[in-house]
Structure 1
Amino acid sequence: MAPTTRPLVVLLCVVFLLAMAAAPSHGAGTPDGSEEWGYVEVRPKAHMFWWLYRSPQRVENGSTPWPTVLWLQGGPGASGVGYGNFMEIGPLDDELKPRPTTWLSKADLLFVDNPVGTGFSFVEGGDTTLMARTDAEAARDLTALLCALYRGNARLRTSPLYIVAESYGGKFAVTTALAALKAIQQGRLQANLAGVALGDSWISPIDFVMSWGPLLYQVSRIDEDGLRQCNAVADRIKEQLHNKQYAEAEASWSDLESVVLSNSNSIDFYNFLRDDSSATATATTAALQRGRSLASFRTKHGYSGYLSSKAVRQGGVSDLMNTVIKDKLGIIPKNLTWGEQSDHVFEAMAGDFMKPRIHEVDQLLELGVNVTIYNGQVDLICATKGTMDWVQKLKWDGLNNFTSSPRTPIYCNEEGQTGTQAFVKSYKNLKFYWILGAGHMVPIDNPCPALKMLADITRSPAQ
């Protein structure tokens, strides 16, 4: 934690009062109540946008309460309201056609643009000093939003809440879960936090960067010299993180991505079986030769670029969000433009980017919270090997039994899908899913086992 000149008790009181004061500034929805959306002023001049869908398959008064999933996107700075909703798990795709594998079939869905400054969320006057600088600050804002939403929604209060994350969103998920539990204990939040799911999540940066070279060598994407170069930079990052030189480690992380791209002919970090197109690969090489930062370059060719490349709609997701969707919502400030990835958010979070959140996962497990970890088989940026390595660093007393537990295969009867689609292992309140054939964005790449996983972890009563 960064040092502060304020006494801790005063700071906690300020946070408490701000959270209590947070309330929806204005909202709207569909006439039938199936959708609601709006803004919460989570701090003075900091406005977070949310969008809640009520499932048409919702089972009322069943033996198992109907769940709600809070989806947290990565980046940091990528829009859950845009990408998670229209590209991954929402009811409609980017052509506004029904998605057969929508997660709305198993749960109500709550999307947010988090942290403030992402997507339709904003800070007044574009004042970047108002943006969250740490995972903890982002968690504080999200908890303030939840307090406001649950205070005015009886249906939410009776629905078990599952926080499901992707990529950097995993760090937001574990910090928000702990902040939400504290708010529940203090009586500020009337919610039942039933579980946290971490998908291809950036929980331990060092374990991922240490896995890149060996993985790429084993799948024939780099040679011995490329492996030597990757390992050399990874070792430098390890030393910098040991010395708590987080800014230097992030710079070295960009260097390592450059080494990977130059030695692998521009491999796709989100699916190591793919390359960027030849035109993109040429642009990538040129940008690297100019010394351009990968942190800024990934705006077009990284997380959001990967998702946008899957968009069918002409003009991509940005065109959809800034025209049809903005018109539908009706409450978005006219001067606010939805963006694919907020550079300002990425830069504001730079100090926490390379910090691990393994300890927070340990805390959740010790508190008895159900924790699910899932990973796409062909992801590189958050490679399965790196995820498995950080899991082995947990101090949770059930780890040895979890490690020795058998894996169970998962099958799908969908058209064109044969053979094993995933594996799952579990012990007490920890589950791990290996999703085969999927990269970084599991619900896009292999939606059937992802949906089966959701039904399992939420115990959804939907048939």
Structure 2
Amino acid sequence: MDRPFPLLALLPILLCISLSSAGSGSCEPVTAGTPDGSELWGYVEVRPKAHLFWWYYKSPQRTSTPGKPWPTVLWLQGGPGASGVGFGNFQEIGPLDVNLQPRNSTWLQKADLIFVDNPVGVGYSYVEDDSLLVTTDWQQAADATTLLKALVKEVPTLQSSPLFLVAESYGGKYAATLGASVARAVRAGELNITLGGVALGDSWISPEDFTLSYTPLLLSVSRLDDNAGDEASKMAETVKEQIASGNFTDAEGSWNDLLHFIGTWSGHVDVYNFLDGSLDSASANAPSTVQAMTKYTRYLSGKDSDSNTIAGIMNGVIKEKLKIIPKDLEWEELNQDVYNALANDIMKPRIDEIDELLSYGVNVTVYNGQLDIICSTIGAEAWVQKLKWDGIKTFVSLPRQSLHCAPSKGIKGFVRSYKNLQFYWILGAGHY
């Protein structure tokens, strides 16, 4: 996600508030902000003893052109268990980098931004009892919908600004279920908000289709040979069978076994970008989920030019700025307990939720990096073709349009669009 042009192209183009207290069991939000009104942040107790943290940035370029309402992007990080308030904000699309210097490519130039540490237990969000961690994507969606109902009151611009749910990796499953939940709440008159669209970046929508894509993709780029490919295909079929029989926890274990096998026989290919080298020997011997997290943090916080670390600023200067973070809470790059709590849901597909959004007329954008393995482009193409949406046959029959990024004259990607579904192929990009 280090190439801002394609992602920006996907968008269909506060006063300082004194702290209020929220005791255990209270549903009153805790909100603070900057004196100039450009930022708001706070906690919403979405369930008793379960607290979601959010951070809103008002764009300095915000305009109120008649007929072109200024958009708001709600960023949903993946993992599951990774922090949007940390990674998405300071490492990807927010106004400042980890050295707290302005980022030229911030999406704040095009939209107001909301980052949330989602689900509860991630980053600055917390639960007072581990039994309150979510175990399904839909529980996450219920909590996040409760958050949005509070934010409509805390962030008045949300009532007139179309909201776009933009997701990365496992965050796409959050976006699918949250999008459907928000659409239902709006249709029922329970939430006064305009859902502008849902954008799914290299998103884990159909674990089966991604798993089945690994062998043909790795064979085609010479990272597996035929012998290893045959065994990897058998392992992928096992995952497919376990998903079909509803053994989702076993499927997650078998999927991890497959990733470990691929690592061993591919020279430890980087599953987030097959042109970006290999894991080091220490990381390569770790469990697959740990390997993935190692690469995740390396991509988002391993730049040699950064003198600060993401964990350092989140537990230091940022925590001091926000003031409302509990003193004993330590921000983590990824909360393994959150991941483990979702273990039985990780391999469940969310294609039906995308169908539901399309049936409501909600704009859905899929964007995928050409070099990704873990959520490969051919896997994304496969699940899109499984949609039951009445426009899918026409969609797949249409030619792609090429994309260019000035000043380069070369093709940087392709897009196919029909009605409220768009698919972007981003050339030269990996998972991020």
The one-letter amino acid of 1:74's match is G
Deviations 1:198-225 (A, max 9, x none): 1100000010011111101100111111
The one of 184, 201, 204 aligned to 2:203: 201
Q: Distance in 2 between matches of 1:32 and 1:311?
A: 33
Amino-acid identity (%): 54
Deviations 1:83-130 (A, max 9, x none): 001111111111211111111111000000000000000011xx2101
Cα gap change, 1:37 to 1:24, in 2 (>3 Å):
farther
Deviation at 1:194, TM superposition (A): 1.2
Q: Distance in 1 between matches of 2:93 and 2:249?
A: 34
**3-state DSSP class of the match of 2:356?**
helix
The one of 412, 416, 420 aligned to 2:411: 420
TM alignment of 1:210-359, pairs within 5 A: 210-277=212-279, 280=280, 282-287=281-286, 293-299=287-293, 301-310=294-303, 312-314=305-307, 316-359=309-352
Deviation at 1:286, TM superposition (A): 3.3
The one-letter amino acid of 1:428's match is K
Q: Distance in 2 between matches of 1:286 and 1:59?
A: 52
Are 2:99 and 2:307, in contact at CA under 8 Å, matched by a contact in 1? Answer: no
Deviations 1:279-316 (A, max 9, x none): x2x113433xxxxx4234433x2433432224743452
Q: Distance in 2 between matches of 1:364 and 1:182?
A: 10
Q: Which runs of 4+ in 1 moved over 4 A?
A: 21-24
Deviations 1:55-103 (A, max 9, x none): 1110124330000000000001100000001111111111211111111
TM alignment of 1:99-110, pairs within 5 A: 99-110=103-114
Are 2:42 and 2:55, in contact at CA under 8 Å, matched by a contact in 1? Answer: yes
**3-state DSSP class of the match of 1:275?**
coil
The number of residue pairs the alignment matches comes to 408
The one of 65, 69, 73 aligned to 2:73: 69
Are 2:391 and 2:418, in contact at CA under 8 Å, matched by a contact in 1? Answer: yes
The one-letter amino acid of 2:288's match is L
Equivalent position of 1:58 in the other structure: 62
The one of 351, 365, 378 aligned to 1:372: 365
**3-state DSSP class of the match of 2:29?**
strand
Equivalent position of 1:39 in the other structure: 43
**3-state DSSP class of the match of 1:176?**
helix
Q: Distance in 2 between matches of 1:338 and 1:152?
A: 24
Q: Distance in 2 between matches of 1:379 and 1:82?
A: 23
Are 1:171 and 1:357, in contact at CA under 8 Å, matched by a contact in 2? Answer: yes
Cα gap change, 1:352 to 1:310, in 2 (>3 Å):
farther
The one of 384, 389, 396 aligned to 1:391: 384
Q: Which has the higher helix share?
A: 1
For structure 1, the residue ranges without an aligned partner over 5 or more in a row are 1-20, 288-292, 442-463
Q: Distance in 1 between matches of 2:383 and 2:332?
A: 32
**3-state DSSP class of the match of 2:237?**
helix
Cα gap change, 1:391 to 1:115, in 2 (>3 Å):
same
Are 1:171 and 1:203, in contact at CA under 8 Å, matched by a contact in 2? Answer: yes
Deviation at 1:242, TM superposition (A): 1.2
Deviation at 1:276, TM superposition (A): 3.3
The one of 368, 384, 399 aligned to 1:406: 399
2:175 is equivalent to residue 177 of structure 1: no
For structure 2, the residue ranges without an aligned partner over 5 or more in a row are 1-24
Normalising by structure 2, what TM-score? 0.91
Are 1:206 and 1:238, in contact at CA under 8 Å, matched by a contact in 2? Answer: yes
Equivalent position of 1:85 in the other structure: 89
Equivalent position of 2:13 in the other structure: none
Deviations 1:14-56 (A, max 9, x none): xxxxxxx985531111111111100000000000000000011
Are 1:266 and 1:284, in contact at CA under 8 Å, matched by a contact in 2? Answer: no
Deviations 1:348-372 (A, max 9, x none): 1111000000011111111111100
TM alignment of 1:12-27, pairs within 5 A: 23-27=27-31
Cα gap change, 1:302 to 1:158, in 2 (>3 Å):
same
**3-state DSSP class of the match of 2:78?**
coil
Cα gap change, 1:348 to 1:165, in 2 (>3 Å):
same
Normalising by structure 1, what TM-score? 0.85
Cα gap change, 1:159 to 1:73, in 2 (>3 Å):
same
Q: CA RMSD in A?
A: 1.5
